[in-house]
Structure 1
């Protein structure tokens, strides 16, 4: 691991100044993702700014909007009565993430900033456009079972790993930073020709909270994975549903494990609204979600798996 300096800060302004003024600096809270990448040589930093002392752990409801401080730990958010009682998808997504030990350490904001990566990114001996822009993407023709079928480019097809982000996208959340508010749909970037740029944040910008509006809808999170803990999703679906009799009054769908960023296609939701929830309507919605999907030799099975996952969770919420 490359040598780095370490500084503790106690207020937001000091934290922002400390990172913004140093190109090789970044924030650290739980460190469950960052430190592993630094040990692997996949990411290097000159300076770590410890923000754990900042007062950003509060979880509260204000005027029908849930506000979660960026330093709230994943375990605490998942177990909080306001979250469990009103945002089942959010609680389930958090509990499906990582392992109990990681959830006890990892901060909410840090989870949203974990790197979109694959094995080639973590292997310092492999080419990777995300780690070294212009070096190539071996996953295009190499090992790509876990990679994206949606949102990829010739420069990167790595999958965003966050379960939390899928739920927040479906719930129309907002990321609050020290200087602005970012609708969650605009928070993550497609890789395009610049896969090393993953979010809309600027250097030194600090997430201080996430806000989630209250929905009067049944919610759930389905995560399909190779093992039951400490494993990224192969396919995940966050769903919210409100029925009027046999007809869909409102629906939200977001997907993980299949795209380079949390994926939502509102045209697919619009297809379901006002219609009976039948195998035919759900299959048609899945086809819309998968428009433009690019299957490679290792990950083509994800397309069929996603088609099967949608009716499983919607029938459960009906």
Structure 2
């Protein structure tokens, strides 16, 4: 459960105020072609689906009207809502909004349903329902462990929870407000989300989203387990040099001697360099901020020395004989 949830749950129970791949890869999405009661029940199962969307709104900030792009994420079962404001609607903002939602909710749902934004969906055939997601979205989904789904073209009503959420944010959180700065606007959205949106009695469920989330959904989300941000993660391939090291950003990171000449996979994330050979992790180093340094794990070097000593001893033995 997110860190802010316990207090909200208590307040909600006491009574809340009612208110209104290498190359582009194709992936088949089951889509949202037509809705039945069974479909809705499945999508509304706890932890099953998160719906996301962006909306635009002119906001008065510092006496000037500027266009704000508001990201809204809504969990299908509890209707728990998360809002972020951005100055644009690019792919990086979709990813930042999703990661922010995962952090607030304390976990990741099974799938994320979206409309067909150009930043995320390359092509969606209305007849065959074949969806070609952007490569980076596929990588992002794999990184966080969810399935991306796209609404059927021209039928965004299948994503109604979030579309209603966008309208609710515009009317309830933004309309009639002005802010001294962008930071003040962001702080207002955080407070509104916590004190209004998620503790109100929801018109469809008849419960406060935070109560429904805490009871039914929080434990159904996949835990984050310290997963680093997708933006900070790099996946690399390197060949181990004769010096028992791989080079990353001009620095050499040691690898077991037996892998000299072998190709290894390198993950750089959260201040660590993790090196894998096949399915096995063979080295972990702290990432260095320096340049042209040698970051050494003494174990592999010791093995090299042992082999060198053994070979030297063998040569001396043969010479004596």
TM-score (norm: length of structure 2): 0.22
User: Larger Cα Rg: Structure 1 or Structure 2?
Assistant: 2
TM-score (norm: length of structure 1): 0.22
Choose between structure 1 and 2: higher helix proportion: 2
Choose between structure 1 and 2: higher strand proportion: 2
